[in-house]
A and B are shown apart, each in its own frame.
Chain A
Amino acid sequence: MAVLGGGTAGAVVAARLIELTPWSVTVIEAGPDYGAFAAGGWPADLLDALTLPDTHDWGYRGAGVPGGAELTFERARVIGGCSAHNGCSQTTGYGPDYHRWGLSWDDKQVAQAMRDAAAALRVRAYSDDELTPFQAAAMEAMVACGIPRTDDLDDLDGGVGCGPSPVNNPDGVRWNTAFGFLDPVRAEPRLRVLDHAVVDHVELDGPTARRAHIRRHDRGVTVEAERFILCGGAYGSAEMLLRSGIGPASELAAVGIRPRLDLPGVGQNLHDHPTVELRFTASEELTRRLAEYGGTRPVPDEQVIGKARAATDPYDLHLFPWTERDRDGGWICVLPVACLTPHSRGALRLASTDPTAKPFIDHRYLTDAEGADLAALRDGVDLCRRLVASKPLAPLLARPLNAVSADRSPDDKALRAAFGHYWHPVGTCAIGDDPASGAVVDTTGRVHGTDNLWVIDASIVPTIPRATTNLPVVAVADHLARAMATPPPQPDPLENRACA
């Protein structure tokens, strides 16, 4: 068994297969494997859950909104993947969203998968007295603007509300999937992790994946296995399939790749939660209060999430305020709003056959024909402006830093200029029944038209959930790995005979 990509999902899949099967598992990871947490070899910035590190970024970039600035799409190149560099918010989203994926899980199984994922990641909730002055004020502002205080961000039946976010930061450590899943099985000799190893392509012989061709320290490594599972994420898994000749045939030929399997959906259906950010400098009062808070404990960037409704029940917006330092050491307060139900779809395509070359990424944000995404964000910005003007928050904010923050009625140009994303790309190898309609994998994660090649990660998510995506990706990876380890029951020959 070869797991190609040791990120958020790959660590889960590899560990679960080691635990539940007699198979040997080789994990191919492009970045470093720093070993078990207990061995003490991890760099401090990846462990520090207070802020977002940028030292292990893949370097993806691409189009933002049409006519807008290019955006960076940070993805972590390290064992544990983005779970090793993210904001540590672990929300479950809205339950019915997960039934639209076509997987064989019912409400109870989805809920159990989320609980299992949260337990492995050591998720807890911030208590109110842990909130920074800015986070506490932002939450009070949400309540003042009609968003009730709740503690249901880990409840699949939850609705509109706000509260401290579930967070995976035991003792201040960002508890990534390598710690939560791989560490308990690292002593097992059937598990091998080959780090600093970049997958070039998977070699197909008809419907069968024979071997993966890897580059490591400028040398080739060929990995033979009976099964291959791609876990490279929404960008990486699509890239690996395309380099293997699996994708839209005409698009592959244009890059000089011989098409092996014409799957028009590979790289398509790319989407993320689009955001708009209001930004302000901190007032003197907030600066003083943050200094007081920071005098006794570290200051986390983000702690509170609000769920609000623009157009879709029960909610379709996330508010996730954060603070960051400016160049002079002062504080910047950011009030972002994310549209959780985006209709716009983009695509990823290869620029080259070279596995070190970055692909063309265009999410085609805010391009849906109905304009629903922009309309939702406009409602969200209106809500943010009410937060800014509210009694709890107004005294803490000083100078607006962009037009959408300064104008009472910002136009679409101002919204587009403040555009961002929520770091939740999904959809490029979508689950579905019909390859002609864009499906890439079946409901087990197996690539249509192959007999031993799977994709299990965020890329198979056909429609993004109303959640921060880390926890749902862990849950679906665990669900599909367990299914792979548990073959369907065979007919009982005695029973058949009795029937005859």
Chain B
Amino acid sequence: MRLTLIRHASLLIELGRQTFLVDPLMAPVSGFVFDGEEQRVYVAGDTVWCADVGDALDDHAPTVVVVNAGEARMTEGDPITMTAQDVLAVARHTPATVVAVHMEALNHCVLTRKDLAAKLADANLDVLIPADGETLMLAGA
């Protein structure tokens, strides 16, 4: 297995707002690409939908993308993990299997699995939302 580090731009520079508050707390933000024999898994980590995430999807063409959803927020400022619209954007951008995690177990996450599932269903998009403790196996072929 090969591991590649993806350096995302600072969240708030990408968003262009409230840089002075959150940027020093969050940046730099990193994702990882795990290269296996059958699957290439991009774990985006704590990031919102931004150009660097799109570039990573284009450059590495993963078969699986794991995104942190939950629309997590600090006490002030914009989301620091993906909103439902961000997850939709990822799913529209890539043919890979998209897995949305990072919801409900953390008290700064405001987006629930149920709300995300409803928005995905409305958009007719197929994204996996595993329960806590659930295992995802990729049988391939």
- Interface positions of A (Cβ within 8 A of B): 1-2, 21, 23-26, 189, 192, 194, 205, 210-211, 216, 219-227
Closest CB-CB distance, A253 to chain B, in whole Å?
Answer: 21
Pairwise interchain contact A219-B141, C-beta atoms closer than 8 A: no
Partner of A225, one of B126, B128, B140: B140
B59 in the interface (beta carbon within 8 A): no
Closest CB-CB distance, A202 to chain B, in whole Å?
Answer: 12
A227 CA to B130 CA, complexed, in Å: 21
A211 CA to B127 CA, complexed, in Å: 12
Closest CB-CB distance, A388 to chain B, in whole Å?
Answer: 54
A216-B139 in contact given A205-B126, A222-B128, A224-B97 (Cβ < 8 Å) = no
Pairwise interchain contact B138-A220, C-beta atoms closer than 8 A: no
Pairwise interchain contact A227-B131, C-beta atoms closer than 8 A: no
Q: Chain A residue with minimal CB distance to B136?
A: A222
Partner of B137, one of A210, A223, A226: A223
B133 in the interface (beta carbon within 8 A): yes
B135 in the interface (beta carbon within 8 A): yes
Pairwise interchain contact B141-A24, C-beta atoms closer than 8 A: yes
A278 CA to B64 CA, complexed, in Å: 61
Besides A24-B139, A224-B138, 16 new A-B residue pairs in contact (Cβ under 8 A), listed by A number = A1-B141, A25-B141, A189-B37, A219-B135, A220-B130, A220-B135, A221-B136, A221-B137, A222-B136, A223-B136, A223-B139, A224-B128, A225-B140, A225-B141, A226-B141, A227-B141
A216-B135 in contact given A205-B126, A224-B97 (Cβ < 8 Å) = yes
A26 CA to B130 CA, complexed, in Å: 19
A176 CA to B68 CA, complexed, in Å: 45
Pairwise interchain contact A24-B131, C-beta atoms closer than 8 A: no
Q: Which A residues touch B138, using CB under 8 A?
A: 223-225
A188 CA to B97 CA, complexed, in Å: 26
Q: Which B residues touch A216, using CB under 8 A?
A: 135
A-B contact pairs, 28 of them (CB 8 A): A1-B140, A1-B141, A2-B139, A21-B141, A23-B141, A24-B140, A24-B141, A26-B137, A192-B137, A192-B139, A211-B128, A219-B133, A220-B130, A220-B131, A220-B133, A220-B134, A221-B136, A221-B137, A222-B128, A222-B135, A222-B137, A223-B136, A224-B136, A224-B137, A224-B138, A224-B139, A225-B141, A226-B141
A197 CA to B135 CA, complexed, in Å: 12
A223 CA to B141 CA, complexed, in Å: 12
B38 in the interface (beta carbon within 8 A): yes
A267 CA to B139 CA, complexed, in Å: 27
Pairwise interchain contact B139-A25, C-beta atoms closer than 8 A: yes
Partner of A221, one of B37, B38, B97, B135: B135
A192 CA to B134 CA, complexed, in Å: 18
Q: Which B residues touch A210, using CB under 8 A?
A: 126
Q: Chain B residue with minimal CB distance to A227?
A: B141
Pairwise interchain contact A225-B139, C-beta atoms closer than 8 A: yes
Closest CB-CB distance, B74 to chain A, in whole Å?
Answer: 31
Q: Which B residues touch A221, using CB under 8 A?
A: 134-137
4 tightest A-B contacts by CB? A23-B141, A225-B139, A220-B134, A1-B141
Q: Chain A residue with minimal CB distance to B138?
A: A224
B18-54 with Cβ < 8 A to chain A: 37-38
Closest CB-CB distance, B53 to chain A, in whole Å?
Answer: 22
Q: Which A residues touch B137, using CB under 8 A?
A: 26, 192, 194, 221-224
B113-141 to A contact mask, C-beta < 8 Å, 1/0: 00000000000001010110111111111
Q: Chain A residue with minimal CB distance to B137?
A: A223
B50-83 to A contact mask, C-beta < 8 Å, 1/0: 0000000000000000000000000000000000
Closest CB-CB distance, A203 to chain B, in whole Å?
Answer: 9
Q: Chain A residue with minimal CB distance to B135?
A: A221
Which of B38, B137, B140: most chain A Cβ within 10 A? Answer: B137
A2 CA to B138 CA, complexed, in Å: 9
A26 CA to B135 CA, complexed, in Å: 14
A211 CA to B99 CA, complexed, in Å: 13
Pairwise interchain contact B139-A222, C-beta atoms closer than 8 A: no
Closest CB-CB distance, B22 to chain A, in whole Å?
Answer: 34
Q: Which A residues touch B139, using CB under 8 A?
A: 1-2, 24-26, 192, 223-226
A221 CA to B141 CA, complexed, in Å: 18
A210 CA to B38 CA, complexed, in Å: 18
Pairwise interchain contact A23-B140, C-beta atoms closer than 8 A: yes
Q: Which B residues touch A194, using CB under 8 A?
A: 137
Pairwise interchain contact B140-A226, C-beta atoms closer than 8 A: yes
Closest CB-CB distance, A188 to chain B, in whole Å?
Answer: 12
Closest CB-CB distance, A391 to chain B, in whole Å?
Answer: 61
Which of B37, B131, B138: most chain A Cβ within 10 A? Answer: B138
Q: Which B residues touch A1, using CB under 8 A?
A: 139-141
Closest CB-CB distance, B120 to chain A, in whole Å?
Answer: 13
A448 CA to B137 CA, complexed, in Å: 26
Pairwise interchain contact B134-A222, C-beta atoms closer than 8 A: yes
A226 CA to B126 CA, complexed, in Å: 15
Q: Which B residues touch A26, using CB under 8 A?
A: 137, 139
Closest CB-CB distance, B39 to chain A, in whole Å?
Answer: 10
Q: Which A residues touch B38, using CB under 8 A?
A: 24
Q: Which A residues touch B135, using CB under 8 A?
A: 216, 219-222
Closest CB-CB distance, A135 to chain B, in whole Å?
Answer: 46
Closest CB-CB distance, A19 to chain B, in whole Å?
Answer: 14
Q: Chain B residue with minimal CB distance to A228?
A: B139
Which of A1, A192, A211: most chain B Cβ within 10 A? Answer: A211
Q: Chain B residue with minimal CB distance to A222?
A: B136
Q: Which B residues touch A205, using CB under 8 A?
A: 126
Closest CB-CB distance, A114 to chain B, in whole Å?
Answer: 28
A222 CA to B133 CA, complexed, in Å: 11
Q: Which A residues touch B97, using CB under 8 A?
A: 224
Q: Chain B residue with minimal CB distance to A1?
A: B141
